[in-house]
Structure formats: C-alpha cells, structure tokens
Structure 1
Amino acid sequence: MAPNVKADVDQATESLRLADPILGRAIVRIGRCTLTPTGEDPFTAFAESILYQQLSGKAAETIIKRLKALFDHDWPSPEQLLATPEDRLRAAGVSWNKIRALKDLATKTTDGTLDFAHLANQTDAEIISHATQVRGIGRWTAEMFLIFTLGRPDVFPVDDLGIQKGIQKLYGYRKLPAKRTMLRHAGKWRPFRTVASWYLWRVVSSD
C-alpha cells in the first residue's frame, strides 16, 4: 500500500518545522494541514482535469453538467465515452481538442496503458510517466492527481505558479525563484513535500 499524506500529516508538519524554521513559522501561523485526498475514481479525476483546463471554474462546471446529462447525470465509463459520437460531446460544449483528449484517456484506460487497478503498487514517477502519455495530460496535471486524488506524501510541483509565488513570498525573493532554487529549498522537506506544497499555497492565498 502506498503511503498517504492524510495518515502522515502530523508527523509531516513536525518534521517540516524542525527542518526549515522559516516554513515552520508559516506552519504555526496557518495551522494544521487539512489536505484530504478525494480518493476519486482515477478515470473521472483525469477526465475532470482535462475539462477544467483553460476555463473558469463556472464554465467548466457547466460543461461537465451537460456532459453528465448524456449519461443519466453521472460520469461516463471509459467504454461509454468511447461509444459516444464526437458530435454529441461537442453539442455538450466540449471543445474538439478536449474531445480528442478524453477519447485518448478512455482508450488508454481500456487498453491497459493506464493501469488504474494497481496504482497503489506504482511509484509517483511511474504514474506520471503513464499519465503523461495521454493527450492533454502533462506533468503538472499528473502531479495534482498524485496530491489531491491519491494523497501521495512527497510530491513537489516545481512548475506550479502558486508554489513559485509561495517560495518567493516566504523567503523574500524579489522575483519568482529559479527551479534550482526551489529544488534546493524542497530538499529540506523530503519526504513530506506534499504538505510543504500545501502550506506554500496557503502562504499565497492568505494575502
């Protein structure tokens, strides 16, 4: 069974406070980490992430509602999605690019490229490698899946703007930090970089 951030949150925060006093002060100020993995069906989680790309939350929710209306107001299975004509998906408001991405996700789910049945036995790197074979799913999307769906404890999304801004604000950089600078900070936070990331997001949102 893969480790889960929810089970380790108290150990993680104590370890982070000791390893990095600057982050530690932010932890005390913000309070206990409340990150709770959704445990959502992986196919649904990735499909939802594709539909949310480059849209406001409200617009994406409207399209998702229309899409689910085609399937008795529920998320379709991969098989159902593959059997649905593209023009019906387009009529629900899904763009052509996202239709292709959803179809590719469904294909790679049914043909075993994405082995969702054995995620617990896969490393973070393996999950990212498999997921990014799908059209429309990049490393950032796969990392968000690891954090918010699976609750993997040591994920550090170095390309996330919120993480970049959090480090900039917390450590007093004039500009967004370079990747090597971020990784140097994150080296102190292993093996609890997911919880550290959560606090960095809170640092930004607490403005």
Structure 2
Amino acid sequence: MENKTNILAIEGPFSFENTFQKHHRTTDTLKSMVIKPEESRFIKWINLAGKPFLLDITVVNEENGISMHQNQRVDKDIERELQTFMKRMFGTDYRLESFYEHIRENSHRVTQVTHLFHGMRVITNPDLFETTVDTIIGQQVNLKFAATLKERLIRYAGTVHRFEEDNLYIFPSPDRVAKLEYQELQDLSFSQRKSEYIIDFARLVSSGAIDLNALWNLSNQEIIDHLMPLRGIGMWTVECLMLFGLHRPNVLPAADIGLRNAVKFLYDSEKQPQTEEIRKLAEEENWYPWESYITYYLWQYLNTI
C-alpha cells in the first residue's frame, strides 16, 4: 500500500458490477470514466481544489464492506479534498442496508428490483457546475443530441486526455465558460437561448454571485428557492441537480418518463401512469425518504426490459 492512499471505506453490501454497469459517458468517442471490472478499478478526471486531478481508484473487499484506494500517494490537503469528493460521489451518509430494510417493509414490488441489483451504490457527480450545465444542455432535446452538444462544448472549452485506449475529458471550469460569447456556442449548434442560459450561469458562478458549494448545506426547498429565479433553470433542472449532483436521497422526479415506464412494467399496468399517480403510489408505499434511490433502481430495471 506504500504507493496508494486509502481514501474511503463504505459499509456493505457493495457490488462493483452492479454499481458500475451503467456509468456516464458523453459519446462513444469521449468518456467521463474508464471502468476496469477485472481490477475493480475506475479512472476519471475531476476538478479538485481548482486543478485537474486524475482519480484512479481501486476497490478492495473488506470484511464488512469495501475500501477505496487512490493508486498514488497524495499530500494531506489533496487527500482531504479527495475524501470529500468521494464521500459525496458515493453518498456515504446513506446506508444501503437501511434503504433495503425500508423497502422490504413497504413495497414488495420494489423489493424485487433491489434483489436484482443488490449492492448497487448510487454514483453521482459532485461537480455541481458540470451537473447543472449538463442538465441545461439536456433540456428539451433527445439524449443523443444532448451528448453531442456536451462533447462539442468539452472539446471547444475543456480538455481531453488520452488514457490507454480511451479519451477522458475534463469539463471546462466556470471561469472558462464565462469568458465565451453566445455566438461561440451557437456556432456549435446550441440554440440562442441555451447558449445564453449556460454562459450567464457560468458568469454568475465565476463572479461569486452563485456559490454552488453552499448548496451542500441547504435543504431541498432552500435549493429550489435559491436556483429557480435564475433564467434557464426550472424545477426539472433543480431536481436533476439534486439527483445527479448533490446526491439527495429524497427527490421524486414523478414526471420522468423513464420512471413512469418502469412503474408501468413493474406493476403490470395497462398504460403508463401519470405524474400524480406516481406521487400517489410513492405515498401509499411510503417511498420517503428513499425516492431517489428507488428511482435509480427502477431506471436500471427499465434497462433490462
């Protein structure tokens, strides 16, 4: 272990395969993460303490869970930053066994899904700027085109590094995006409004008018109240930020078509349930405070149908 740094311990259960079987990628030619299941290892460029950092983690099985080791020595300041990032990424404040116990007591149908993907930890992206911009890009466009737009932004304003046979990206910083002009994004096929939303948001973050780090200490409602007045950010965008960035366990994206389709199949419904029907089901089966985790598991279940 002399060339490694012990970063994080996570209480079991934990399945590397189930956790990483569906990880984020921008397009087929540009990835956010390289997964090496045969080594229980994942590699990802992140922005850490304002600088690019190559996250290179090996997962080691322990008696009551797993530990994660950075495959290089780092100094104490970086180690603290890295531990915070990883805790947020894997949601270590939330015990997976507590989630499973809650589901066993309240929802037989969802229990079937948790059995299928036992040990699947939810992974989020604690880079709140990237998560927010990613969500704005995805507004009212299909997933394929959203991925194409994101890749164009990264190649234009971010950084791409080769890792063995894959291209891994570093997302552009708020300062870098803030310096862009609207027309530059429009030249990359962004709409005029989306160009304005992204660059204006970056300028607010870069100037300090919006402190994204402060969101970690706010309640869900406070986050909604803080961000909703911003141009280009609606409830769907804030929900995605809480789900995919802030790792909030108690967010129910009831209007999401993927969640509604998963419920349709799992509950043998003849038609896709509407938003209010999802909310009613969640209340009847007492999904709170694990709505986000249930949603993640149902999304994964939908991929198997």
Alpha-carbon distance in structure 2 between the residues aligned to 1:17 and 1:118: 35
Q: Deviations over 1:68-111 (max 9, x none)?
A: 34435253333333332222222233221211111231243245
Alpha-carbon distance in structure 2 between the residues aligned to 1:64 and 1:172: 36
Query: How far did 1:152 drift?
Result: 0.9
Query: How far did 1:134 drift?
Result: 2.9
Q: Does residue 205 of structure 2 align to residue 105 of structure 1?
A: no
CA contact (8 A) 1:44 1:75 kept: yes
Distance 1:193 1:113, change over 3 A: farther
More helix by share: 1
What residue number does 2:20 align with? Answer: none
Q: 239, 254, 257: which is aligned to 1:143?
A: 239
Matched residue of 2:245: which SS? helix
Distance 1:75 1:31, change over 3 A: closer
Q: 221, 224, 239: which is aligned to 1:125?
A: 221
Alpha-carbon distance in structure 1 between the residues aligned to 2:269 and 2:129: 39
More strand by share: 2
Alpha-carbon distance in structure 1 between the residues aligned to 2:212 and 2:146: 25
How does 1:19-168 map onto structure 2 within 5 Å? 19-39=106-126, 41-71=127-157, 73=159, 74-110=170-206, 114-168=210-264
Q: Deviations over 1:135-159 (max 9, x none)?
A: 3332222212212212111111111
Tell me the percent identity.
Answer: 26
CA contact (8 A) 1:155 1:193 kept: yes
Matched residue of 1:93: which SS? coil
Q: Does residue 299 of structure 2 align to residue 189 of structure 1?
A: no
CA contact (8 A) 1:17 1:25 kept: no
CA contact (8 A) 2:132 2:241 kept: yes
Distance 1:56 1:173, change over 3 A: closer
Q: Which has the larger radius of gyration?
A: 2
Residue identity opposite 2:186 in structure 1: R
- The TM-score, its normalising length taken from structure 2, stands at 0.59
**Matched residue count:** 206
Residue identity opposite 1:130 in structure 2: H
Residue identity opposite 1:122 in structure 2: L
Q: Does residue 105 of structure 2 align to residue 18 of structure 1?
A: yes
Let me know the Cα RMSD of the aligned residues: 2.7
CA contact (8 A) 2:264 2:273 kept: yes
Query: How far did 1:113 drift?
Result: 5.3
Distance 1:197 1:63, change over 3 A: closer
